[in-house]
Structure 1
Amino acid sequence: MSKQPTGIPEWAGAPPASEGGFAFAHGEFFAEATGQNRHRRATIPELKEQIASGTDKDRPAHWFEAQLLHYGLKPSKTKSVARMRLLDAVNGTDLAVPDHISKLEKKLKTAWTKSEREAKKTAITPAAASKAPPSSAKTTGGAKRKAEPEKSTPRKKPSTSQPAANKAKPAPAKPDEPTPNKPRAKQTARRGGTAASGPSRGSPITTASPASAMPRQTARRGGVATSGPSRSASTASTSQASAMPRQTARRGGSHATARNPPSQPKGFPSGSVELSSDDDDPPPPYTMVEDNELAPLGLLNGDYHIRSSDVTEQWSHLGSEFDLTLTISGRQLWGRFDLGVIEGIMHFSERPWASSDEGVSFTWRGRENEGPIFYGGRNRGEIRFLGGGVIEGRFDYQGIEFHGRRVPDQGTRSSVSASNMEREWDDYNEDRTYTGYTQFEIIRSRTLGGLASGESRVIWTDTNTTRNANMWAPEIHHIDNTWYYFYSSCDASQACCDSCQTRVLKGCDGPNPYDCDYEFLATLVPPEGSRGSSSNLAFSIDGSYLEIPGRGRYHVLSIVDEKRLQSIAITELNTTDWTVNAWHIISQPDQEWEQHYKGNGAVNEAPHPLYHGDDIWLAYSGSDCSTAFYALGLLYYNGGDPLQASSWDKSGPVLSQANGNYGTGHNSFFKSPDGKEIWNAFHATANSDGDCGRTRYTMAQKVTFDKNNVPNFGIPQPLGAELDPPSGECQPRKKKTSM
């Protein structure tokens, strides 16, 4: 589990001076990385020590990204890539801070120093201080200062209990130094997959002075004024909150909770300090008295069952039950929603602190069902938190109204972390709408389990905008002693995904694909009029290479057929000039298990060949990958013309959800080091609703064959279960199922 850096501590006085993604305050110069995470510059000796340690578990991806920015190197949000670039730079002889960054640091230092002097000159005078309220609060250093609550005008005057003074807390740590914490409860194992770059739930948190109490939330009739947490945002907060009620004991040791929202550094936008919590304690014990006697706010974190008569009446085929998940992150609130006709992420710049029949405004980003992507800050809505987990809300999109209730018997921790929602929010950003997934990387290791932390190398990026967006589904094949890299990609100028097509790169004739230099070879799309679709759509994804002895070489893939069904197609492949002939449909999603979807229709996709003895199969995936029912099926080649559907016998599902693993599809096969075993590598997610995105992880299990040579894929094993590794590995005999 990666430790969470402390970020920037709270300070009084002048706000940070910032420009161009850098900031200066109190003697420290910071670079802003992904998610508005700011880090000071590590010295060259510190970088060498970090890299020489052989581990980066104590540093998140955005720390490495920030160091690249500090030293004027090309940034990367991918941890392994950023670390490799730093390693190359440290091993060189000319690593230094560029002149333009040094000049910017001096400029911001001068600007901040001047602002700090002005702030001291205009400090509160004794006469002004005597007008402050008699209550006082201790600062983090233990000294007392006067606290002046912010005024608010509620509709009904609430009766509030007077909070007692909080105990003094330790002074905040210096930037990028962890604050000592009380011993935490033992951390349980993470459920597979790659580590998230955002704050981890068990990460140590730097505690600042007690936050002041939020005034009662009133309706924001003009919507929100900002566009949400853009990575480049630098708008300063214009107000400070007033005093919080007395803090009760925290559950969970060092976690910041809903009753202790983390204080922000003065002048930084909400979200800029790496403090968050996925735990949701009940809100402070306000004693609001309202005419309508609303129930207490209760827990916010968790899943909600949602209904909308607007959606049901206009789009009855989408069903009547929808989903919403809310997650607290300090003073902010994030939400992931799916209303059938639209789905996406909502963001509240200020979470509610008490129940109210007045709406709390949010901005949202998302995608219309079979339509465009919505990004920026123009999309708005509001939710009324009526207490007891009951909510009512409205989207500006089509004027859709909805209502719902928090699912009972949940814990205090949300099922989706705020950091995951923030990453999904960023995926809807204008700059990334069409250009996500823009490079391919190969990871190598001597063992299967070692791939989780193996050596990595970026082998392909593309400057051609007609094919450098949404680069998916890579496969490596060894053909005529040369390595080839099959993949799908889309046009960066168009919304996903009609422009996506299957393509191939050419590598080298060396002993392994890792060390090859790759070049673009071909787009594998047949001429117009032979694409299998009445609209002549060139859409094609998930291409693979199939060779049938005595028959020839083929390209198998997923296309949209004449019935607008996403189906499995096959075409003859000429590996001399790398062209293909007409597409022929060999499987449509005509089985019940292939017809689970969330609005995009039934699916057959991701064909991949399996060879054993004299038999050949195509494994493929059925149903929409965003559902839990995404599963593997088989097409058995029975010896006829491979271009005819009658030559392929369908069966399935042969691998489907089990043991907490959902959406078990899109697979490939590989052999053990000694060549005696065949293993199946496939996607899965722990999200019981299914997910095509970042919550997926890779699993691998051995395929066995019975006496009739029929393959048995078994069932997905629980994450953390230990299996015998592939035969021929030189290591102890037990390995975990996930990578």
Structure 2
Amino acid sequence: MSSDWDYEEEYAPNISRNGFTCRGDRFYVVVDGNQHEREDAQQLYKLLTYTPPPPTLTKKGTVAKRQPAPHKDHAAHFYCAQLIHYGLKPLKTREPAKKKLLAAFGTGQTLSVPASILQLEITMKEEWKKANEVADKKYREEALERDRRERAERQERDIQEKERREKHEERQKTMMKDFFGVFDAATIVDSDEDEDEPNAPRLTNAQMRKEIASLSDDQMCKLLYKLLADVPEVEDVVKNEIEKARAQARKAKAKTKAGPSQNRKALSVTQWKGSYTVYAPKLADHWGDAEGPLELEVYPSAKSSHLWATFNFGVISGVIRSSDAPPKAVGDKIHFDWRGRESGEGVMTFSDYNKGAITFLGDGKIHARMTGDLCGKFELFGKQCAVKKNTGDPVKKVSEWKHDWRGINWASYNAASQERWGKWGGERKIESPAYSDTSEENPGSDDDEENELDVWNFAM
């Protein structure tokens, strides 16, 4: 194989004969473990007749403080190797070896390599080149065979992985259908992963309106972002619509306080609080310990202005705090933030990316979407436990969850990181209660009560 530098890959081993060694274009002698090629006769003569120059003087004629670097002579094994290269008896001591080489130059100041050594060099280089061609061919054949074998192994692994995933997906779909009954198993597939039909015909205006109406919230957001980026004129229209939507939201919020809408079924606290059995199929695709059943427990906060929950999804566990009020009717979607720890070394996660939304579907069923640094984006489906166990005081549980939430922060993260390396990381920091404006009429947070009460003796 050659390159722009005409470099030949070396596959054949060294060839050694009569004290000489050959590999590639190199023909050298090994003395005391040191390899030396033949030095050109003219350069060798300069080394042997080197005389140190007089010291450098200043303008005043005195010896300068700065002098040229002193001449560094070669080691004894270098001169011993040169004696062998020029067909002379080797000497292991430097000065005798140099004297013998200089004497060999004679008055003509020339030194020739014996014809037998020159011929040996030619023969050994040709021999090595032929051996290298054979070794090169063998190497390429073995490389091709390795590539073929690796491709076959990759294909076999891909086939096995595909079969495993298909069986896993089928098992998940069957499980979901059996578990939730009325749920369509197809709903476990994220809408983001749907593919457009190939060669679809151009839509009419009526068809386009119908398709727009069927888009999910996430798809609509992506569409708006693209329009804002590609069509500047859309910005003013979007701003106006956002203002209208805000106004409508304020009106809808006021109506919600008066009671649930006539066309929606009211949802009491007892119908949604408590423990849930949940499954997260997409999460289980990547982590075996997330196959389920998984755990989720949900309760309202003291003033019912927030929803608090704790979860254990195998690969990740933590605490949920809603940014909306708890549900009042079937179909209410509650947005939330979450903080947690991964199951391995307990590394904390609490970034702005840790968000989600949970929808209460009635009959004790929920559907949620979550995103996070350690687990990506996934869906989960849950069903309220039929048998309500006595698992402790909900008031104390919520208090403990809040305490856990406030203990997951940068100060605690850094302290834990130091401790994993056997160092003292400092005291854990517990954040103060968060401020939240839960309603326009009653600003403040239900967390504020804990400024007056001990966090472990929180009263509902």
- TM-score, with structure 1 as normaliser: 0.21
Q: TM-score, normalised by structure 2?
A: 0.32
Q: Which has the higher helix share?
A: 2
Q: Which of these two proteins has the greater Rg computed from alpha carbons?
A: 2
